[in-house]
Amino acid sequence: MLNASILTWLTFLPVAGALVVLLLPRRGRAAEGFTLLLTLAFFLLALHLPAHFNYHQQQGFQYELNVPWISSPAIHYHVGVDGLSMWLVVLVSFLAPLGVLISWRAIEDRKREFYALLLLQQTAMYGVFISLDLILYYAFWELSIVPLALLIGMYGRNDGRRAAIKFFLYAFIPSALLLVGMLWLYGQTGTFDLVQLQQQMHGWSTGPHAAGLWLTSLAFLLAFAVKVPVFPLHGWLRDGISEAPTAVAMILAGKLGLYSLLRWHVGLFPTEAAHVAPLMVALGATGVLYGALMALVQTDLKRLAAYATLSAVSFIVLGIYAFTAASMDGAAYQILNESISASAFFMLLGILYERYGTYDMGQLGGIATKMPGLAVLFVITTLSLIGLPSLNVFVGEFLILSGSFQTHPRIAGTATVGVILSASYMLWMVQRVFYGKPSTSVAALSPADVNWRERAAVWPTIALMIAMGVASVFWMHAIDLSVPGMAPNKVSLGAAVTPTSAYATLNPTRGMTR
Amino acid sequence: MIPSLYLWLLPLFPLAGFAINGTMGRRLPKTAVSFIGLLFPAAAFAQVLWIVARVHQGLTLPYTESFATPWIAVTDFHANFSFLLDQLTLVMLLVVTGVGLMIHLYSVGYMGEEEGYWRFFSYMNLFLFFMLTLVLAANFLLLFVGWEGVGLVSYLLIGFYYTKDSAANAGKKAFIVNRIGDFGFLLAMFLIIAHFGTLSFNQVFSSITSHPEMQGGFLTAIALFLLLGATGKSAQIPLYVWLPDAMEGPTPVSALIHAATMVTAGVYMLARTHVLFGRSPLALTVVAVIGAATAFFAATIGILQTDIKRVLAYSTISQLGYMFLACGVAAYSMGIFHLVTHAFFKALLFLAAGSVIHALGGEQDMRNMGGLRKKLPVTFWTMTAAVFAISGLFPFAGFFSKDAILAADFITPHDGKILWAVGLITAGLTSFYMFRLWYMTFFGSPRYQESSAVREGHGSHGGRDVHESPWVMLLPLVILGILSLAGGWIGWPEALGGSNWIAHFLDPVFASAGTAAATPPTTADIQLDRILAGVSMLTALLGWFLADLMYRRRPQLADAAERSAKPLYTMVLNKYWVDEIYASVIVGPILAVSKTLLGRGIESGVIDGTNNAWTRIGSGLSSWVRRMQSGNIRSYAGWLAAGAAAVLIVVLYLAHLY
């Protein structure tokens, strides 16, 4: 019974919780305490999904619920998850209580609104990941923009409103195109249902609908690419991240857009996606290097984190559009890893900011002697982000790059330079913030080291960095069931596996560009 | 059914030590930290000895062990946690755990008065974990885990005194330069996957072996990328620049990581992948040339360094060059042989230097040493064994391994004689700068009283009298001293009446590489070997003689030499300005381009330009909204949402009609 309704419960309980939060007393810790309990409960509920997931089911969705909602136009309440979206739902549930914990002291004004908006955002994200009907999906997609913009605008550190407007416009205008595309699709097929659309649109790429299909696929692509963001559509990212409070920065970039690319661009328009793939692969690699080089010359920690995020999500874009099983599995896995490690990074930056009141590396320095506990957490997170083997990010990065290398050797090889650059800017950052003698502004203060609440927020992410680095199979199993199937004309590694065919590709240039 | 060797346990021993000291060490008393820090490496060493006994009893090698659950498994690609034990691994295991244990023991004394004692031991144990993973790995990816892992620990330990800017800088530099090498390693792995579909050593090498027609081509590309990785880890041209700076770390770290074990990982990797290199004469030639060039180049810098640890650092780079030189002429067992003897005498050199530094309260400049022979007798005698060994004096360890490499070069067709000549000249230089170090440190009149400035970092007890180190430091010195003398006898060549045990032991691993040791030597070979051994010995003695002349009998000669070749002297003293060239040719332009072209040009110009256009639209909208309402963000976000809903409803209605 629970199996059919669990996704619905998960999705709508947070918004109900948000309403309750607004009614709670303004004083004391009621809002954050209640939200924390709620989010923990949601997390436990979400664990039901992997626990009862059928890991042998190759095709289709699980925990599915499909009921007619509006008969005309035909809109269904159709939800369900596959191996990819299941883990994304768990991820959202996992990060939510951490976001509450880390906001505990950072947010003092308008607390009820803050936590209510966080919960609303949680509903929107669940909705995006589980919707299998385009209209339903679109409703959640639009909904996901609003709380984020409000949170940035209301709780930004300097000029939140400006960053919020920028984010909103960036996200909103392409979404209007998305809507037009959706309606065109409905006009042609009479359905909004993902599965039915896929069946009906089979073979359209060469038929009379080809042109319309192209435009529609581009509208979809643009809407998602802005949200990821894909270089050069990242104009909102730097200000968005540097203004956003920690709990918002943790969920701002990456997963919603990346998931949508996989499910609603690659999944719905495989042929068109294959045509733009070379462009997307090139943009991915460019974003990797561009973000890394920009991160190298930042002096503000939040801005550095923003460009590091651009670099990290660009790896995933590269992996998705390289269309090999390994690169797509790696990309899907990396959505999880990027979220977890970047969240840890943002939380640690927030902890630092609460103590020293600045993100400016010029004013920081020598903090390791003052806060050894924070330094340890910071270094581990750094190592995860720069892809140290045996930690999580490496697994995704390796699969993305080795997979992409099979179809786009030169571009993947170029993107691999990113591993040198990421080590450079991250370790330089660690050095400037933590090593050396304490700077004057650091020496002037003697704040307490990381406290229990903060440890409780950061340690779970660190535990996952290690677990997902050494036992990737646990998560990958479900992902591998679902993701490679989304790829059009997937290039199989198996082609070169036998030594004889390896010899057939002996000519290195031929073998590489195969 | 072969009984299990529990190889998986081997790396887990030191990992447990790391976990315990790393989490609880801060609160534990020092004796407990030392006990834990020594117990787990000792357990690993004991297990290695047990494995040796098992192999001696006739266990067949190679032996593999694999976990049932893979590490990474997706459609088309698998990587397992699998371990491989063959003769090569066994030699490496003995060196890593044996020398490692000695250095751990020594550290109890050397680091005894340091802050962060627990941190030091937990890092050292973590290092052993990664190093054991590296040598036990049965596939490229697991090897890479160890490979980057040892780099991480190296980073952490170089930066052990992290409040010191130079130490923090050196640690970062080591990691980033190694990352450049790792970039090559990654590309090599991508190519291997593309052509073989797997990263398992066994599968890759056997498919190469079963296809004799595979020559050069992509195999050359793979080999060259692997070589880039090896030049990073083993500090060869062009990526050697991190190792001299790595001397910022505590001296036991220099001994263990930056001399005996980690930096030899590149050599180990070349030996491990010899099947690949065997199909690419071009790649092999590059290996040999890099080795010869590095050996010579680093030795010349070593001549003028005055910091005792820096001399040893450049000599490490130079000696690693010899190992590359051996691999480059497919004399892998000789390369591994030199790896072993080098581990003994170079670890000893660092530990003895540490003993000197310890005695002088942190002084590392040899100009402020001298006359320590009587004050530090044990240190002096053990160091002497190491100096004789590295200089290649018969019958010390270095003589046998270095001579074996030079002989292998000499008989290599084409340019073998040139390689041999470079190696021989380097041997003379090595002998010269090592005896220079020996004389400046232990002979002549004491110069250390004058120096009052105690270096930051090691030596919190600068005020005390010069004294010999405690027994926990001397015991490892003595053991390594014995090994520096006798350790080379495992490769006593047939030409000098020995049996060259090590070469025969390693033969099964390198059989396909066609090493010379497989065939019994002819009389002519024996004659040639004897002559070459004599020439090497004479070269070493010549170096000693010159050092004796310039640094003991006629010190004014050194000054005269300096004056007569001033430009050359300045260039070598400044290490050929390689660091400065890298900084201005590579690092500077990258930062400048990022700041101006990307930052100001693209980001501010193009991206933010678009932003501003958006914002203008936004402010237009917001002023419109402001006229409608209060103008705060909530209200016009609400307006936009409402507008979206309106658009939605209208369009849906239209679509319905349509």
Q: How is A39-60 classified by DSSP, letter by letter? A: HHHHHHHHTHHHHT--TT--SS
Residue B298 amino acid letter:
A
pLDDT of residue A378 exceeding 80: yes
pLDDT of residue A428 exceeding 70: yes
Q: Which of A10-14, A109-113, A447-451, B3-7 has the lowest mean pLDDT?
A: B3-7
pLDDT of residue B215 exceeding 50: yes
Interface list for A 137-196 with B (CB within 8 A): 142, 146, 149-150, 153-154, 161-162, 164-166, 168-170, 172, 175-176, 179-180, 183, 186-187
Do the strands A75-81 and A62-70 form a parallel or antiparallel pair, or are they unpaired?
Answer: antiparallel
pLDDT of residue A244 exceeding 60: yes
| Burial category of B466 from C-beta neighbours within 10 Å (exposed 0-12, middle 13-18, buried 19 and up) | middle
Q: Structure tokens of B409?
A: 């070069």
Q: Structure tokens of B455?
A: 């270096």
Our CA-based measurement puts residue B193 at a distance from the nearest CA of chain A, in whole angstroms, of 7
Q: Is A235 on the interface with B (CB under 8 A)?
A: yes
Q: Which of A249-263, B118-132, B242-256, B494-508 has the lowest mean pLDDT?
A: B494-508
pLDDT of residue B618 exceeding 90: no
Determine the pLDDT at residue A446: 85
Determine the pLDDT at residue A350: 94
Helices (H), B487-522: 501-510
Give the H/E segment covering residue A471. Answer: none
* Most confident of the following: A378-387, A438-447, B576-585: A378-387
Q: Is A480 on the interface with B (CB under 8 A)?
A: yes
Would you call B295 helix, strand, or coil by DSSP?
helix
Q: With the C-alpha atoms ordered B410, B412, B417, B423, is the resulting torsion angle positive or negative?
A: negative
Partner-chain contact A73 B218, CB within 8 Å: no
Residue identified by tokens 């359905």 is A191
Partner-chain contact B76 A153, CB within 8 Å: no
Our CA-based measurement puts residue B150 at a distance from the nearest CA of chain A, in whole angstroms, of 11
Smallest CA–CA distance from B648 into chain A, residue: A179
pLDDT of residue A514 exceeding 80: no
Determine the pLDDT at residue A508: 37
pLDDT of residue B655 exceeding 60: no
Interface list for B 185-204 with A (CB within 8 A): 186-187, 189-191, 193-198
Cα-based torsion angle of the residue sequence B285, B288, B293, B294 in order, rounded to the nearest 10 degrees: 130
Residue identified by tokens 């040493």 is B369
pLDDT tens digits for range A319-345: 999 999 999 999 999 999 999 999 999
Q: What pTM was estimated for this model as a whole?
A: 0.91
The strand pairing partners of B82, in sequence order, are B66
pLDDT tens digits for range B284-343: 999 999 999 999 999 999 999 999 999 999 999 999 999 999 999 999 999 999 999 999
pLDDT of residue B462 exceeding 60: no
Confidence of residue B595 (pLDDT cuts 50, 70, 90): confident
Q: Which of A143-147, A300-304, B214-218 has the lowest mean pLDDT?
A: B214-218
Confidence of residue B149 (pLDDT cuts 50, 70, 90): very high
Q: Is B282 on the interface with A (CB under 8 A)?
A: no
- Residue B635: list chain A partners with CB under 8 A: none
- Residue B603: list chain A partners with CB under 8 A: 294
Determine the pLDDT at residue B196: 92
Interface list for B 626-655 with A (CB within 8 A): 633-634, 637, 640-641, 644, 647-648, 651-652, 655
* Residue B448 main-chain phi, psi, to 5 deg: -85, -20
Could you tell me where the beta strands, DSSP code E, fall in A143-264?
A: none
Q: Is B182 on the interface with A (CB under 8 A)?
A: yes
Determine the pLDDT at residue B217: 87
Cα dist. A208→A185, A219, A271, B310, B648 in Å?
Answer: 14, 19, 15, 74, 27
Confidence of residue B270 (pLDDT cuts 50, 70, 90): very high
Determine the pLDDT at residue B58: 84
Confidence of residue B615 (pLDDT cuts 50, 70, 90): low
- Residue A390: list chain B partners with CB under 8 A: 145, 149
Confidence of residue B435 (pLDDT cuts 50, 70, 90): very high
Q: Is B595 on the interface with A (CB under 8 A)?
A: yes
Nearest to A72 among B147, B149, B656 (CB): B656
Partner-chain contact A236 B611, CB within 8 Å: yes
Determine the pLDDT at residue B494: 81
Interface list for A 38-77 with B (CB within 8 A): 72-73
Nearest to A401 among B75, B175, B190 (CB): B190
Residue B284 amino acid letter:
L
Do the strands B63-66 and B77-79 form a parallel or antiparallel pair, or are they unpaired?
Answer: unpaired
Our CA-based measurement puts residue B445 at a distance from the nearest CA of chain A, in whole angstroms, of 38
pLDDT of residue A507 exceeding 50: no
Determine the pLDDT at residue A483: 86
Smallest CA–CA distance from A286 into chain B, residue: B598
Determine the pLDDT at residue A107: 86
- Residue B180: list chain A partners with CB under 8 A: 420
pLDDT tens digits for range B509-537: 887 655 444 456 677 788 888 899 999 99
Angstrom distance (rounded) from CA A417 to CA A401 = 11
Confidence of residue B464 (pLDDT cuts 50, 70, 90): low
Q: Which of A47-56, A253-262, A339-348, B637-646 has the lowest mean pLDDT?
A: B637-646
Mean pLDDT, chain B, rounded, equals 87
Q: Structure tokens of B626?
A: 């402001």
Q: What is the mean pLDDT of residues A205-218?
A: 84
Nearest to A169 by CA among B648, B645, B640: B640
Confidence of residue B229 (pLDDT cuts 50, 70, 90): very high
- Residue B145: list chain A partners with CB under 8 A: 389-390
Partner-chain contact B651 A183, CB within 8 Å: yes
Partner-chain contact A416 B187, CB within 8 Å: yes
Angstrom distance (rounded) from CA A64 to CA A380 = 39
Confidence of residue B34 (pLDDT cuts 50, 70, 90): very high
Specify whether the backbone of A447 is left (phi greater than 0), alpha (psi in -120 to 50) or beta: beta
Counting residues of chain B whose pLDDT is more than 70, the rounded percentage is 89
pLDDT tens digits for range B323-335: 999 999 999 999 9
Interface list for B 136-165 with A (CB within 8 A): 141, 144-145, 147-149, 152, 155, 159, 162-165
Confidence of residue B166 (pLDDT cuts 50, 70, 90): very high
A435 neighbors B168 (Cβ within 8 angstroms): yes
Determine the pLDDT at residue B635: 53
Q: How many CB pairs under 8 A join A and B?
A: 239
Q: Which of A272-281, A454-463, B408-417 has the lowest mean pLDDT?
A: B408-417
Partner-chain contact B637 A405, CB within 8 Å: no
Confidence of residue B262 (pLDDT cuts 50, 70, 90): very high
Q: What is the mean pLDDT of residues A294-318?
A: 95
Smallest CA–CA distance from B658 into chain A, residue: A187
Partner-chain contact B633 A435, CB within 8 Å: no
pLDDT of residue B451 exceeding 80: no
Confidence of residue B1 (pLDDT cuts 50, 70, 90): low
Determine the pLDDT at residue B453: 46
Cα atoms in the 13 Å half-sphere on the side-chain side of A388: 26
Give the H/E segment covering residue B35. Answer: helix B30-56
**Helix B397-410 to helix B332-359 angle, to the nearest 10 degrees?**
140
Partner-chain contact B211 A505, CB within 8 Å: no
Nearest to A368 by CA among A376, A360, A357, A358: A376
Q: Is A435 on the interface with B (CB under 8 A)?
A: yes
A45 neighbors A93 (Cβ within 8 angstroms): yes
Confidence of residue B638 (pLDDT cuts 50, 70, 90): low
Question: What ipTM score was computed for the predicted complex, to two decimals?
Answer: 0.91
Our CA-based measurement puts residue B108 at a distance from the nearest CA of chain A, in whole angstroms, of 23
Partner-chain contact A398 B651, CB within 8 Å: no
Nearest to B183 among A330, A398, A419 (CB): A419
Q: Is A385 on the interface with B (CB under 8 A)?
A: no
Mutate to test the interface with B, among A189, A288, A419, A506 (most CBs of B within 10 A): A506
pLDDT tens digits for range B42-90: 999 999 999 999 998 888 888 888 888 889 988 888 898 999 999 999 9
Determine the pLDDT at residue B622: 65
Q: Is A306 on the interface with B (CB under 8 A)?
A: no
